[in-house]
Amino acid sequence: MRARAGASKGGTEFARVQAAAKFLLKKTKLRPRVGVVLGSGLGGFADELKDATKIPYQKIPGFARSTVIGHAGRLVIGTTAGTPVAAMQGRIHVYEGYPIRDVVFPIRVLWAMGVRAVVLTNAAGGINREYKQGALVLIRDHINLQGQNPLIGANEERFGVRFPDMTEAYSQKFRDLARDEARKLDIDLRDGVYAALAGPSYETPAEIRFLRTIGADLVGMSTVSEVIAARHLGMSVLGISCVTNAAAGVLDKPLDHAEVMATTERVKGDFVALIRGVLPRIAGTTEAETPRHGRLTGQ
């Protein structure tokens, strides 16, 4: 009997994810319950993890290599406040030329390792004029304008359902925890809607006016595909943007990546403090959950 079109591809991807998860679980005795993806210039948090095992992406089966300045390109498994965490120092982007399945592959591997919640961070352009440069913003929703979706193609039922619900793509419970931590730390934490474009060129002023019109507060070139993949897997998500620059046309000056890096360096103290405080609380909310079929927790 002939296989259904696309079925073998789904099965291959599941096996690919499982192989990478097994490889990583053999590298450490820790079993992370929460993962964090650290965007441009925000990777310093991973350097603070205790009992850390650091694995370059190129040594992990199936992982693509991160090529962007400000993305160290390694997975760090360690603890913060006694909580096991898997931290990605940098991510893969579609503008680097990788297929979208490679962009979301690390999220699926974290899931196969037993991670049940992820904190996704990024550097973003501020469309909302109320955001100051260096502001930390909770993502409450997103607009996908990348022209791609990681779930296109034959559905792998072991990952999730064919049509996953995205009503609450970003966990309200996690946002409440983050706001509570921000109050304790005296950090001004806003919230907003993140628009994802493919990049790598920055947006034009006309595009920013369009994005503002359709309800976007932030703009960037990442995160959304990872969120879609995570929700497909049943993982809960917290999204945090660092506003590294005003979007095109908001201020009368050109944009460049050096400004992104300089701003993240300036605000890394608040960023690290917030992540350090919220991760153990997020991990605590997952303790009673039962791992879904396909995970390798405990192996």
Catalytic residue among 95, 154, 155, 166: 95
- Residue 273 tokens read as 């403090």
- Helices then strands, counting H and E runs in the chain, come out as 6, 9
Active-site position among 21, 46, 93, 171 = 93
Kindly name the residue from 19, 48, 52, 96 that is annotated as catalytic: 96
Catalytic residue, chosen from 13, 20, 40, 246, is 40
Is 181 part of the annotated catalytic residue set? no
Burial 230-254 (b: 16+ CB within 10 A, else e): bbbbebbbbbbbbbbbbbbebeeee
Residue of 66, 222, 225, 241 marked active site: 222
Q: Which of 131, 230, 245, 246 is catalytic?
A: 245
Give the torsion sign (CA, 224, 225, 231, 235).
negative
Q: Which residue has the tokens 């605590």?
A: 284
Mark whether 171 is an active-site residue. no
Which three-class secondary structure state does DSSP give residue 133?
Answer: coil
The answer to whether residue 96 is catalytic is yes
Catalytic site residue from 19, 52, 168, 257: 257
Q: Is 8 an active-site residue?
A: no
Give the type of residue at 64. A
Query: 89, exposed or middle or buried, with CB in 10 Å at 0-12, 13-18, 19+?
Result: buried
Distance CA 220, CA 197 (A): 6
In angstroms, rounded to a whole number, what is the distance separating the alpha carbons of residues 57 and 73?
6
* DSSP element (H, E) containing 36: strand 34-38
Catalytic status, residue 221: yes
Q: How far is CA 261 from CA 79, 123, 159, 185, 274, in A?
A: 26, 9, 35, 23, 19
Let me know if 232 is a catalytic residue. Answer: no
Phi/psi at 280 (5° precision): -60, -35
Other CB atoms within a 10 A radius of the CB of residue 200 amount to 13
Catalytic residue among 57, 64, 71, 170: 71
Q: Is 166 marked active-site?
A: no
Rounded (10°) CA dihedral 266, 124, 81, 231 = 180
Choose the catalytic residue: 112, 169, 196, 221.
Answer: 221
In angstroms, rounded to a whole number, what is the distance separating the alpha carbons of residues 84 and 33?
Answer: 7
Q: Are strands 74-80 and 83-89 parallel, antiparallel or unpaired?
A: antiparallel
Q: Six-digit token pair at 117?
A: 């919640």
Among residues 123, 135, 169, 283, the one annotated as catalytic is 123
Q: Which residues are catalytic?
A: 40, 71, 93, 95-96, 123, 221-222, 245, 257
